[in-house]
Amino acid sequence: MRAVRTVIESVADTDATVLIRGESGVGKDLVARAIHSASGRGHGPFVKVNCAAIPPGLLESELFGHEKGAFTGAHRRKPGQFEYANKGTIYLDEIAELPLALQAKLLHVLQDFRFSRVGGHGLIDVDARVVAATNRDLEHAMARSEFREDLYYRLNVVEIRIPPLRERRGEIPLLASAFLSRFNEQYGRAKQLSSETMARLTEHSWSGNVRELENVIRRMVVLTDGEQAFEALVARQRNGHASTHAAASIASEGLREIARRGAREAERKALVEVLDRVQWNRAEASRILKVSYKTLLNKISECKLSPPSRRF
Ligand SMILES: Nc1ncnc2c1ncn2[C@@H]1O[C@H](COP(=O)(O)OP(=O)(O)OP(=O)(O)O)[C@@H](O)[C@H]1O
Ligand SMILES: [Mg+2]
């Protein structure tokens, strides 16, 4: 992250467009904010638009605003997020989800920082720095004609790649200690991490990256047996997921029932992981899991899952 920080500091004060890349949970939002804060626009607005969280049909109006009567339901003129970001930074998260037609419009906006609202004719000038992020393989998306190459080059003036946590394990103890003191203070606890736990944390695969680490430490602080809970999680992963209670129950269950239960458990686990990773963005989760939105909702209710009531 030191190398990332150096890049942030050297590009912050230019108005260059930055493309931040990295797996889910590596800290892309954090880097986008850091760029904004370190820039001369730091006192201006920082506007985040998650392109995956807004239905594609509404995205153009969300970004660029609309005039009264532009479409059914457009009862009054509404400015878009680009206008709100004037003199500041607009952070376009999950940029790969931008529909092709909007990719073309965005490209034009990036060329002359001028656009018209949906249903409008007048041109609006905007002075906004653009930072975009994605966890998807844009080169692959381009090869499949899902992402415009010209937009890619326009966004990619500066590219910041944030490596997954498993490729920078040296940072795990630092991050773990920082989260530990933060949550100890927040929950009025005085939990400590044993050196064995620290070693386990450092070895863990962290597919959910820093977000997963943060959540694990929070759980350790909040739960009385937090450390044991983590040990159990690691042990389960080491032994293969469903093996823990397999042997004892084979006698009483048929093969078919065992398979069904295994499938249910695997589904549940995938749901929990993906929903956590996308912060309960169900549209995004259904895309990742390759099921329809409706199927996803059914599965969520079958597994009795609900969004975390608080996020920090
Ligand atoms: N270097 C870091 N130091 C402290 N906290 C961090 C660091 N990197 C990430 N985090 C924390 O981890 C969590 C996930 O980070 P962030 O939301 O920036 O990830 P992301 O890459 O945007 O993920 P996604 O692709 O899912 O949107 C946040 O709570 C963030 O504060
Ligand atoms: Mg993010």
pTM, full prediction: 0.76
Ligand 1 pocket test target in 26, 48, 134, 273 with most atoms within 8 Å of CB: 26
The average pLDDT across 99-123 equals 93
Q: Which CATH architecture has domain 247-312?
A: Orthogonal Bundle (1.10)
pLDDT digits (tens, 9 = 90+) for 208-234: 999 999 999 998 888 877 666 677 666
Point out the ligand 1 atom lying closest to the alpha carbon of residue 26: 21
Instruction: Pick the residue whose CA is nearest to atom 28 on ligand 1.
Output: 211
Instruction: Quickly state the pLDDT bin for 94 (edges 50, 70, 90).
Output: very high
130 DSSP β-pair partners: 90
Name the residue ranges covered by the structural domains of the chain: 2-163, 165-238, 247-312
Question: Is residue 122 a contact partner of residue 149, using CB atoms and an 8 Å limit?
Answer: no
- pLDDT for position 243: 41
**For position 234, what pLDDT does the model report?**
67
- Each residue's pLDDT tens digit, 263-277: 888 888 889 889 988
Domain 165-238 has CATH 3.40.190.10: no
Ligand 1 residue neighbourhood (C-beta within 6 Å)? 1, 22, 24-30, 135, 175, 210-211, 214, 277
Q: Is residue 166's pLDDT more than 90?
A: yes
DSSP letters, 174-232, are HHHHHHHHHHHHHHT------HHHHHHHHHS--TTHHHHHHHHHHHHHHSTTHHHHHHH
Residue 222 in tokens = 């909040």
Q: What is the pLDDT of residue 159?
A: 96
Mention the CATH class of domain 2-163.
Answer: alpha beta
